[in-house]
Amino acid sequence: MRVFQMQRYSAIGLLVFLTIHMIVVHYPPFHIDFSRIIVRLNQPLWKAIDILFLIFVLIHALAGAYVVLTDVQRFNKYQRVLAGLAVVIGVLAFIYGTMTILAFQAPEAITVLAP
């Protein structure tokens, strides 16, 4: 798949997930505080949503950085190296972010007190 296509598809995904994020986190009646965030991060559905959001952010950002770097003609011979570096950075960031999301456990006191 071409880089510009990946960026277009990831932009559509970002539009969906940013809309969900803005509605759920920032607009009433769904405005939440830290205790509700802890409870939400303990639910598998929200963990999946956060991981998908992470995937789309990484694809969009790294594809954009790759296009900016390779737009200059003098980088033509280094395009494979830059593409490989972008993939490695993306995979490492995805692994780190996913491990952080999946490892989260809410303290028992907060889970019990949540509405």
pLDDT tens-digit profile of 3-57?
A: 889 899 999 999 999 998 888 877 767 667 777 778 788 888 989 999 999 999 9
Helices 79-103 and 44-70 cross at an angle (nearest 10°) of 160
Q: What token pair was written down for 58?
A: 């990484």
The CA distance from 52 to 75, in Å, is 31
pLDDT recorded at residue 12: 95
CATH class of 3-113: mainly alpha
pTM: 0.76
Instruction: Tell me the three state secondary structure of residue 71.
Output: coil
Q: What is the token pair recorded at 16?
A: 């969906």
Domain positions in the chain: 3-113
* Tens digit of each residue's pLDDT (9 = 90 or more) over 54-95: 999 998 998 888 888 777 766 677 777 877 888 899 899 999
